[in-house]
Amino acid sequence: MTSNADTQRDLISYLDFHVEAGVDAALDERPHDRFGEAEAPSPARAAPAAATLEAEAPRPRAVPAAPPAVRAPQGRTYGRSASAKPDEAADDARARARETRTLDELEALLAGFDGCPLKFTAKNLVFADGNPEARVMFVGEAPGADEDRIGKPFMGRSGQLLDRMMRAIGLDRTSAYVANIVPWRPPGNRNPTPQEVSICKPFIERQIELADPDLIVCLGSPATQALTGTKDGILKARGRFYPYRLENREVRALATLHPAYLLRQPVQKRLAWRDFRLLRQALDGTA
């Protein structure tokens, strides 16, 4: 006969097995055959965001195709925009973001915004870290597990590398402001979908406007494409300044490689070093 203790041990080792395999978020009561779905794609289904990433995928991706539909947790209803289509949610996000006058107001708005399903699988809103008065703002893609747990961007291994890269040109989080294009962690570290990016984009755009930096650094392809509009892959886009329109002036956005990519491809650090030297020169007024 199986004792309760045996059952409990079995359950714990079953959960451990899943955690080790990278399954760290419960999404639905029924399993989905994502590989089967991928073999028979529906024409209506959105292309996976990974297709846009070219050489770079900042974090290991657990889910290859479009994300599962995420239902609101029991007893919770989505706000006015989440019941709407992604386009309507993005319009709603834009209208509401425009009304905010301070970064605190924007953060409070995001905390109460139910239009992006990622909110319901994330532990925390990951709004920003660093100094909002800084002249330079770094923008990454989306929080990972460490950031989700702590509630601040770039806290894990990528963040430690970013801190070292910043230090090399005399910056730290007292002299730089840090955020992501998507402020909630996509479950299982998958890419945010194009819909999730377009719903969240008005918020990061408003965050940039309110922080009003002189220079923006786009870390990796998704941030570069979302903020500059380029379709170029990051290996082509990096090292270039793109014009970026703020409320009352134009500033520059520099594209560079994402630290997570550099952790996997350390040989590319020499390219990032060139970009960071360029950033230093831009801050010094010599580039």
Instruction: Decide whether 140 or 202 has the Cβ nearer to ligand URA.
Output: 140
Nearest to 141 by CA among 232, 50, 68, 274: 50
- Residue 154, exposed/middle/buried by CB under 10 A (0-12, 13-18, 19+)? buried
180 lines the binding site for ligand URA (CB under 6 A): yes
Is 147 a binding residue for ligand URA by CB under 6 A? The answer is yes
Q: For ligand URA, what does the binding mask look like between residues 227 and 266, x meaning CB under 6 A? A: ---------------------------------x------
Residue from 115, 117, 130, 140 that binds ligand URA (CB under 6 A)?
Answer: 140
Question: Hunting for tokens 């905390």 — which residue is that?
Answer: 111
Amino acid found at 30: R
Between 140 and 188, CB nearer to ligand URA: 140
Do 90 and 116 contact (CB within 8 A), yes or no?
A: no
Q: Report whether 165 contacts 178 (CB < 8 A).
A: no
Say how many CA atoms lie within 13 Å of 125 toward its Cβ: 14
Cβ 81 to ligand URA shortest distance, Å: 24
Structure token digits, residue 144: 């990972």
Pick the closer one to ligand URA by CB: 92 or 141.
141
Please give the Cα distance from 22 to 2 (Å, whole number): 29
Residue 81 or residue 259: which is nearer to ligand URA going by CB? 259
Return the ∠ at Cα 186 (arms to 183 and 188), rounded to 5°. 145
Return d(Cα 192, Cα 206) in angstroms, integer: 19
Among 81, 100, 121, 158, binds ligand URA (CB under 6 A): 158
> Which span sits near ligand URA by CB under 6 A: 73-81, 113-121, 143-151, 278-286?
143-151
- 154 is a contact residue toward ligand URA (CB under 6 A): yes
Q: Does 141 bind ligand URA (CB under 6 A)?
A: yes
Among 82, 89, 137, 142, binds ligand URA (CB under 6 A): 142
Nearer to ligand URA, 86 or 186 (CB): 186
263 Cβ contact partners less than 8 Å away, ≥ 6 residues apart: 157, 158, 161
User: Minimum Å distance from CB 285 to ligand URA?
Assistant: 29
Considering only 48, 143, 186, 213, the residue that binds ligand URA (CB under 6 A) is 143
